[in-house]
């Protein structure tokens, strides 16, 4: 292949409620894009290995308690601390497949009482804007059929119902490239759909500068 220097990679985000298959699909999507000749790498948020990420990890495992506003800002900081690396990778032509991003932050925190969407969005304003957001859509019934909840924080039915509603509201933002994907299909069928959408985004990203949330 001809050198692609100067052409940036795409920022592709996977979102969805718990058990929709995001992590599996993110991994398979990276492999598939590579097989098809693209430079692709995976990232996840929260990134639990950094200092901030370790605090978040303990919080999710319920080993510590962090005040709700404070933990929201930590989740956002955990994204911001990766921004220099994200920008470098994209500029060098690498496509990034990200398992959760700012939209998880807003959907989850705004599902708590007394948090407005507006307040929740603010800390992530200015983050690199995804070229594509793949929403893996799975009904709560179908998600339940995939097995019981884990023991982490947020893994309760009532909370997940609320998270679903919040994602619905976020998807109404037409300034973002949301694509609703039926996650009840087989793993292979979901992968086929998201691979096609991702290749379209990679092509379009080449001629556009990266935006900001």
The answer to whether residue 149 forms part of the interface with ligand DGP (CB under 6 A) is: no
The answer to whether residue 183 forms part of the interface with ligand DGP (CB under 6 A) is: no
Q: Which of 72, 89, 121, 164 binds ligand DGP (CB under 6 A)?
A: 72
For residue 108, the partner it binds in ligand DGP, Na ion, none, with Cβ less than 5 to 8 A by kind, is ligand DGP
Query: Each residue of 137-152: b (16+ CB within 10 Å) or e?
Result: bbeeeebeeeeeeeee
For residue 100, the partner it binds in ligand DGP, Na ion, none, with Cβ less than 5 to 8 A by kind, is ligand DGP
C-alpha distances in Å from residue 56, one per residue of 66, 68, 93, 115: 9, 12, 30, 19
Q: Which stretch binds Na ion (CB under 5 A): 18-26, 69-77, 105-113, 169-177?
A: 18-26
- Minimum gap (Å) between residue 203 Cβ and ligand DGP: 28
**Which 83-122 residues touch ligand DGP, going by CB under 6 A?**
100, 104-105, 108-109
For residue 41, the partner it binds in Na ion, ligand DGP, none, with Cβ less than 5 to 8 A by kind, is none
Strand ordering across the sheet containing 178-182: 40-44, 95-99, 11-15, 132-137, 178-182
Residue 17 or 202 with smaller CB distance to ligand DGP: 17
Residue 95 or 109 with smaller CB distance to ligand DGP: 109
Query: Each residue of 176-187: b (16+ CB within 10 Å) or e?
Result: bbbbebebbeee
Peptide bond just before 46 cis, omega within 30 deg: yes
Could you tell me how many residues of this chain bind Na ion (CB under 5 A)?
A: 2
Who contacts 160 (Cβ-Cβ below 8 Å, separation ≥6)? 17, 18, 140, 143, 154
The answer to whether residue 18 forms part of the interface with ligand DGP (CB under 6 A) is: yes
% helix, strand, coil for the chain, step of 5: 45, 15, 40
The binding site for ligand DGP (CB under 6 A) comprises 18, 45-46, 60, 72, 75, 100, 104-105, 108-109, 154
């Amino acid at each position: 292949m001809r050198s692609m220097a100067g052409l940036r990679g795409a920022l592709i985000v996977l979102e969805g409620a718990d058990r929709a298959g995001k992590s599996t699909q993110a991994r398979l999507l990276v492999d598939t894009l590579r097989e098809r000749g693209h430079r692709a790498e995976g990232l996840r948020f929260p990134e639990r290995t950094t200092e901030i990420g370790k605090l978040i990890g303990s919080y999710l495992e319920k080993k510590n308690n962090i005040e709700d506003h404070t933990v929201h800002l930590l989740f956002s900081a955990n994204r911001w601390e990766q921004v220099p690396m994200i920008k470098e990778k994209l500029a060098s032509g690498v496509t990034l497949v990200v398992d959760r991003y700012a939209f998880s932050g807003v959907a989850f925190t705004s599902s708590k009482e007394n948090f407005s969407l507006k307040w929740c969005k603010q800390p992530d304003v200015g983050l690199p804007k995804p070229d594509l957001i793949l929403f893996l859509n799975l009904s709560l019934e179908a998600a339940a059929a995939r097995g019981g909840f884990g023991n982490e924080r947020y893994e309760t039915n009532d909370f997940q119902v609320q998270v679903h509603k919040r994602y619905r509201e976020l998807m109404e933002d037409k300034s973002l490239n949301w694509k609703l994907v039926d996650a009840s299909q087989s793993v292979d069928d979901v992968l086929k759909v998201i691979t096609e959408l991702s290749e379209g985004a990679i092509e379009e990203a080449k001629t556009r500068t990266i935006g900001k949330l």
